[in-house]
Amino acid sequence: MLVPFGRRTLTGLVVGTSAESSFDEGRLKTALESLDEAPLLAEDDLWLIRFTSDYYHHPIGEVAAAALPALLRQGKGLYPTLEFITITDAGEGADVEALAKRAPRQAELLETLIDAGGDGLDADTLTATLPNWRRAAKPLFEKGLASRSERTTGPRDEADAAPATPGPELNAAQREAVATVRDADGFAAFLLDGVTGSGKTEVYLHLIRDVLDAGRQALVLVPEIGLTPQLIDRLQKRLGIRPALLHSGLTDLERLDAWRRARSGDAKLVVGTRSAVFTPLPNAGLIIVDEEHDHSFKQQEGLRYSARDLAIARANRAGVPIVLGSATPTLELMKHCEDSNYTRLPLPERAGGAEPPSIRLVDLNRSPAEEGLSEVLASSVSDHLAAGGQALLFLNRRGFAPTLVCPSCGHIAECTRCDSRMTVHARDQRLKCHHCGSSRSLDAACSECGAEVRPVGAGTERLEDALRKRFPGRTITRIDSDTTQHKGAMDAALAAARVGDADILVGTQMLSKGHHFPKLTLVGVINADQGLFGTDFRSDERMAQSIVQVAGRAGRENAAGEVLIQTAFPEHPFWRRLIDAGYAGVSTDALEERAATHWPPFSRLALIRSAAHKKTDAHAFLDAARRRIGQTEGVRVLGPVDAVMARKAGRYRAQLLLQASDRRALHALLGRLRPELEDDPTARRVRWSIDVDPIELF
């Protein structure tokens, strides 16, 4: 609907109708225009929007905006008429190189249009890739090299996928898992608890096949970096259909198209990242959440929802089974299984007979690391390469070095806007803040005393350099967010790594998950101590997840895998437990500890955050919140306290933690509190938010 709003006209969504109103008639306004002939969203879709708004205590309008594709949010129709720019025949034959010398921007646009082919590109998509394309377009139109038109976008023609091909015969544990889910009648939640490489994806494939055969739809949610061409390829080949994909790399029009196909029921399989949980599915039969422990399922700003938790709520409402898979399940799900709310489906062994990797510690006190690399690890890399294997070195810290120190006066380069140190980036000779994104040039001399400064510690760039020195002639590929900024760079690097074109892979978190590198036999964890003394009650769980996930990359095929972990604290009990009893051991201990200390999943949390240019403002708001909460039965209030990084991007940040053993008490309180806080005078000077079930506490 188009509706009058003050002096403006805005797009609104009808969420309900009524014949009466408590407002005076004179204050009611008439809607200007209906934008869609039929309701855009079905009853179930509206239910999910309402549920999300209630559960996360977030304005319903913003939830609806998050749930809809951008073009619909802007008030365009389901099949919008858009401005398209298309290459002409003359443009196809133009000399791009000659043009590039005189008018590089025009050449760039021309090339983009040539790549796009006969359908052309819509204006919004062009703006996303080439922000100032319009200036370059004018001369191209005048020369007849490109043309402009208005076109109504219909459904896209989808090429048929090749017919389905069969997969491996399921093993006993996989068969049991599939059979148990098949027996579900209506809603039921399953934790597919399978070690890395145990064949979880095969289980998903069989369950999806059933749903397709029954003529219904399946929704698969994957982590942000899990939606690889490898996975899509596998789904397509095995199921013989093209899934509708929903992820952040799509243009608005592609996203709308996938959304429409899901909404009409044409798309039988919808695969997407976090926000795909809102996709309409008129005929849902199954929901799958792969790598349920992954943090990318929780949105960390604005509407702070967990796509995993909403998926469960959605399956419940739709009366269909949900399967949540992980090699390192969260304690939340483990507890649900213990309480018998959910059913645990164990896949205890690697499929296809591969052995689990062996784990060994490298004591950094005895074998010190130089530029990140200890002698023990380096010689192990040598051995594995000599045996025809591949090595992956995991270091969750990009850049050259995390700290720049002056050995003469002790000055450390810090961010001017955050309470944090600047990271040295040697490749582009800059100091960068990984928290706010600010950067400045890297000087060789100390800004305080002029002495020569020294980078301390190692990031992925430095480790890459050290490896090049140590292994000349070997192919070394670094994969982190600095090397994969260009579209497709990540996929290309991973594809090369898979076929064995890289001998040594160096990378951050993004390398640690989901990938299958057939030749990989050695995984080295460069800096494991970051998480050992964490302040968050989730530290152990997280640390074990991240190590087990990266270790799971080793030895997935025939050759046995080995994992070396560099640590300065080899006596720490965490390591013994992890090596002796694996993730199951660490997580069982952690669950007991949480029960004793009443942290989640044995209690519920909500965090109220505030940020302001003045520290006193940030605190005044939370003090007011605390006063308004007063004594609330069943809710414990902790704080306000400064955030661990008290100043970020020029703003002071503080927080108030609410803890309750009963979810209802907490939600009743938040329901009352939110409108009060919105009207509180202290709220005008801060940015504030409510985070229900926060996963980042500090």
Out of 168, 319, 410, 671, the only residue in the binding site for ligand ADP (CB under 6 A) is 168
Interface with ligand ADP by CB under 6 A: which range of 21-29, 153-161, 190-198, 644-652?
190-198
Contacts of residue 45, Cβ cutoff 8 Å, sequence gap at least 6: 67, 278, 280
Tell me the C-alpha to C-alpha distance, in Å, between residue 510 and each of 162, 223, 397, 502, 555.
31, 11, 11, 17, 19
Q: Which residue's structure tokens are 């645990």?
A: 344
Which of 90, 99, 192 has the alpha carbon at shortest distance from 143?
Answer: 90
Site string for Zn ion, 403-432 (x = CB under 5 A): ------------x-xx--------------
| Complex with ligand ADP: residue 159 or 172, whichever CB lies closer | 172
We find the least distance from the C-beta atom of residue 433 to Zn ion, in angstroms, to be 3
Classify strands 520-525 and 562-567 as parallel, antiparallel or unpaired: parallel
What is d(CA 490, CA 481) in angstroms, rounded to the nearest whole number?
9
Binding to ligand ADP by residue 194, rule CB under 6 A? yes
202 binds ligand ADP (CB under 6 A): yes
Among the listed ranges 62-70, 76-84, 192-200, 369-377, the one in contact with ligand ADP (CB under 6 A) is 192-200
200 binds, among ligand ADP, Zn ion, none (CB under 5 to 8 A by kind): ligand ADP
Picked from ligand ADP, Zn ion, none, the partner binding residue 417 (CB below 5 to 8 A depending on kind) is: Zn ion
Distance between CA 57 and CA 254 in Å, rounded?
A: 31
Q: Which two tokens stand for residue 346?
A: 């164990």
Q: How far apart are CA 695 and CA 698, in angstroms?
A: 9
Q: Which does 435 bind (CB under 5 to 8 A by kind): ligand ADP, Zn ion, none?
A: Zn ion
Whether 286 and 215 have beta carbons less than 8 Å apart is answered as no
611 binds Zn ion (CB under 5 A): no
Q: Which residues, numbered 349-388, are part of the site for ligand ADP (CB under 6 A)? A: 351-352
Smallest separation, CB 330 to ligand ADP (Å): 17
Kindly state the smallest distance separating residue 293's Cβ from ligand ADP, in Å: 13
Give the three-state DSSP class for 418: coil
Question: Which 574-603 residues touch ligand ADP, going by CB under 6 A?
Answer: none
Q: According to the binding rule CB under 6 A, does residue 198 interact with ligand ADP?
A: yes
The answer to whether residues 322 and 288 touch, using CB atoms and an 8 Å cutoff, is: yes
Window contacting ligand ADP (CB under 6 A); options: 45-53, 66-74, 165-173, 376-384: 165-173
CA 463 to chain CA centroid, Å, is 26
Are residues 251 and 124 in contact, defined by beta-carbon separation less than 8 angstroms?
yes
The mark string for 37-56 relative to ligand ADP (x by CB under 6 A, - otherwise) is --------------------
- Binder to Zn ion among 50, 237, 411, 435 (CB under 5 A)? 435
Of 550, 576, 573, the closest CA to residue 563 belongs to 550
Among 113, 347, 433, 551, binds Zn ion (CB under 5 A): 433
Nearer to ligand ADP, 202 or 480 (CB): 202
The two structure tokens encoding residue 18: 């009524």
Helix (H/G/I), strand (E/B), else coil: 508: coil
CB of 201 to ligand ADP, least distance (A): 3
Of the candidate residues 53, 106, 153, 201, the single one contacting ligand ADP (CB under 6 A): 201
> Read out DSSP for 42-108?
-HHHHHHHHHHHHHHT--HHHHHHHHS-HHHHTT--SS-EEEEEEE-HHHHTS-HHHHHHH-HHHHH
* CA 270 to each of CA 160, 161, 199, 240, 539: distance values in angstroms, whole numbers, following the listed order: 16, 15, 21, 14, 33
Q: Could you say which of ligand ADP, Zn ion, none residue 170 binds, taking C-beta under 5 to 8 angstroms by partner kind?
A: ligand ADP
Q: Which residues are registered as beta bridge partners of 354?
A: none
Q: How far is the CB of 169 from ligand ADP (least distance, A)?
A: 6
Residues 186, 286: Cα–Cα separation, whole Å: 10
User: Least distance from C-beta 199 to ligand ADP, angstroms?
Assistant: 3
Q: Tokens in use for 525?
A: 């964890």
- What does 196 bind: Zn ion, ligand ADP, none (CB cut-off 5 to 8 Å by kind)? ligand ADP
When the beta carbons of 269 and 463 are compared against ligand ADP, the nearer one is: 269
Q: Which is nearer to ligand ADP, 200 or 577 (CB)?
A: 200
Site for ligand ADP (CB under 6 A): which residue of 197, 321, 356, 582? 197
Q: How far is the CB of 352 from ligand ADP (least distance, A)?
A: 3
CA gap 494, 477 in Å, rounded: 9
Helix axes 133-142, 104-116, angle to 10 degrees: 80
- List the single partner that 415 binds among Zn ion, ligand ADP, none, CB under 5 to 8 Å by kind: Zn ion
SS3 annotation, 133-160: HHHHHHHHHHCCCEEEEEEECCCCCCCC
Q: Is 200 in the site for ligand ADP (CB under 6 A)?
A: yes
Name the residue whose CB lies closest to ligand ADP.
199
Q: Which does 209 bind (CB under 5 to 8 A by kind): Zn ion, ligand ADP, none?
A: none
Distance (Å, rounded) from C-alpha 587 to C-alpha 571? 19
From the list Zn ion, ligand ADP, none, partner contacted by residue 168 (C-beta under 5 to 8 A by kind): ligand ADP
Rounded to 5°, the CA angle 389-426-649 comes to 110
Contact pick of 69, 199, 321, 531 for ligand ADP (by CB under 6 A): 199
Complete DSSP assignment for 611-665: EESSHHHHHHHHHHHHHHH-S-TTEEEEEEEEEEEEEETTEEEEEEEEEESSHHH
With contacts defined by CB under 6 A, name the span among 36-44, 170-178, 294-302, 304-312 that binds ligand ADP: 170-178
Q: What is the CA radius of gyration of the chain?
A: 27
Among 2, 65, 337, 436, binds Zn ion (CB under 5 A): 436
174 near ligand ADP (CB under 6 A): yes
Pick between residue 228 and residue 566 the one whose CB is nearest to ligand ADP.
Answer: 228
- State the minimum distance, in angstroms, from the CB of residue 547 to Zn ion: 29
* Residue number, 324 or 418, with CB nearest to Zn ion: 418
Comparing CB distances to Zn ion, the nearer of 418 and 622 is 418
Longest dimension (CA), the chain: 84
Please report how close the Cβ of residue 423 comes to Zn ion at its closest, in angstroms: 10
Q: Report the candidate in 445, 449, 536, 462 with the shortest Cα–Cα distance to residue 506.
A: 462
Residue 418: contacted member of Zn ion, ligand ADP, none (CB under 5 to 8 Å, by partner type) = Zn ion
Least separation in angstroms between residue 431's CB and Zn ion is 10
Residue 410 interacting with ligand ADP (CB under 6 A): no
Choose the binding region for ligand ADP from 44-52, 64-72, 198-206, 608-616 (rule: CB under 6 A).
198-206
Which residue ranges make up the site for ligand ADP (CB under 6 A)? 168-171, 174, 194, 196-202, 351-352
Which residue ranges make up the site for Zn ion (CB under 5 A)? 415, 417-418, 433, 435-436
